[in-house]
A and B are shown apart, each in its own frame.
Chain A
Amino acid sequence: MRPDIRWGLAAAAALAIGVGCAEPYARLAAPYYRLVDELLATGHPWEIAGVAVAPGRTAFTAELQLQGYVRRSMSAANHAARVVGRVQVGEVVETPLVFWTLLLVWPATTLRQRAWRLAVGIPVFFGVEALTTGTQLMLPLAQASAILAGNPDPTVWDHWSRFLEFGGQFVLDCVAAMLIATGTARDARLRGVRVQQN
């Protein structure tokens, strides 16, 4: 089969799986996002109350929602704001779809190579998930803190969120998968390296 057809079919299959599995995946991954966001909240006056899938603001939509509280400072006793971080379930499933499709469909010469990729891919995948969906959910907490501090300018969190929404998430997913696939390839041809034939 021609490689472009194989990749095209893999992409179409991944999209079909994504459409069917977006909401179940978001439900399954919600506890992980909560764990990540609690870690990210460390050192900030933020409290994560929960992460769960809920109906969106418009009909026919479902969202992964983070419920959280923001205090004015670390020492403040009371919450100053309650916020909701929202990511559509379709966006939640983007990272696993892109990352695993690339990693699994990328040609390998041996089964051992595939197993090695899988072993390296799992921790990297969790890292990419934290950097993408995990941080997207935290944005309203950072925005609320900035507003409470009287800072109307976009924060680093805003810039990161815009980067992700603007295709940066796709770039991170692809680059991470590509580096694992090529890094674990023993065969120089699979790395895309041109071998000098003498």
Chain B
Amino acid sequence: MTTTPATGAGPLRFALTFTLCFAALFGGFEASRGSAFERFVVEDLILVPTIALIDRITPEDHAELTSGRVIASPGANLHVTRGCEGIEMFLLLVSGIIAFPASARRRVQGLLLGSLLAYTLSISRLMALHYILHYSPAAWEALHGLVLPLAPIILMGLFFMDWSGRAVQPARPRSAHAA
């Protein structure tokens, strides 16, 4: 475990690669808006399971997905807009793992575990937003504006710190006779 967020051999290189990767992934996902792929990711992979879980936990809510990506129920209509789906957590994870120097095995491990965490956090965040809007709208501002967007990303950041601390490859011993 490192004492700081490990950034590999060059913080500047890590920062640049991370930012460029994130920008490229963001651009790619934005370009896919409205496509079957984007609908599959946002609706089938995220929104439908979220609503299934809400219906399982609180069937009396009668939550359903309506057009315009609204999680609708008699007590609350949650409009899931661009940036609220939680996709950014996957993009941050992928960018961080690409930018950080690690073995292929470690990268795959980080991507798998991180994706699982990001997926869980995405669904949990949407469920939390639904329940806040339904049962405690007074808390909406603080939670929707700051805590729920930022807390999952912070958790992803802590996961990344842990992964990067473990993923630092041992330096090869330098030969005394090297030219």
Contacts and interface: CB of A to CB of B under 8 A. Distances in A.
Interface of A: 2-4, 7-8, 11, 15, 18-19, 22, 56, 58-62, 88-91, 93-94, 97-98, 106-107, 159, 162-163, 165-168, 170-172, 174-175, 178-179, 181-183, 189-194, 196, 198
Nearest to B171: A194
Contacts of A60: 137-141
A196 to B, nearest CB: 6
A3 B30 contact: no
Interface stretch (B18-26, B37-45, B65-73, B109-117): B18-26
Contacts of A91: 145-146, 149
A193 B9 contact: yes
Given A22-B145, A159-B30, 19 more contacts: A3-B3, A4-B162, A7-B157, A7-B161, A15-B150, A18-B147, A60-B140, A89-B141, A91-B149, A93-B146, A106-B4, A165-B82, A166-B83, A167-B83, A171-B92, A179-B15, A191-B11, A192-B7, A194-B9
B144 interface: yes
A168 B26 contact: yes
Contact of B141 (A4, A88, A162, A163): A88
Contacts of B2: 3, 192
Contacts of B140: 58, 60-61
Contacts of A183: 11
A181 B51 CA distance: 42
Interface in B121-179: 137-142, 144-147, 149-151, 153-154, 157-158, 161-162, 165, 168, 171, 174
Given A15-B147, A22-B145, A192-B7, A4 B161 contact: yes
Given A15-B151, A168-B23, A192 B6 contact: yes
**Interface SS of A by simple majority:** helix
A177 to B, nearest CB: 10
The 5 closest A-B pairs by CB, nearest first: A90-B145, A167-B88, A90-B146, A182-B11, A192-B7
22 contacts: A3-B3, A4-B158, A7-B5, A11-B158, A15-B146, A15-B147, A15-B151, A18-B146, A19-B147, A60-B139, A88-B144, A90-B147, A91-B149, A94-B150, A98-B150, A106-B4, A162-B82, A166-B29, A167-B22, A175-B19, A193-B9, A196-B171
Nearest to A59: B137
Given A3-B2, A15-B147, A175-B15, A90 B141 contact: yes
B88 A166 contact: yes
Contacts of B11: 178-179, 182-183, 191-192
A178 B146 contact: no
A171 B6 contact: no
Contacts of A178: 5, 7, 11, 15
Contact of A107 (B1, B4, B9): B4
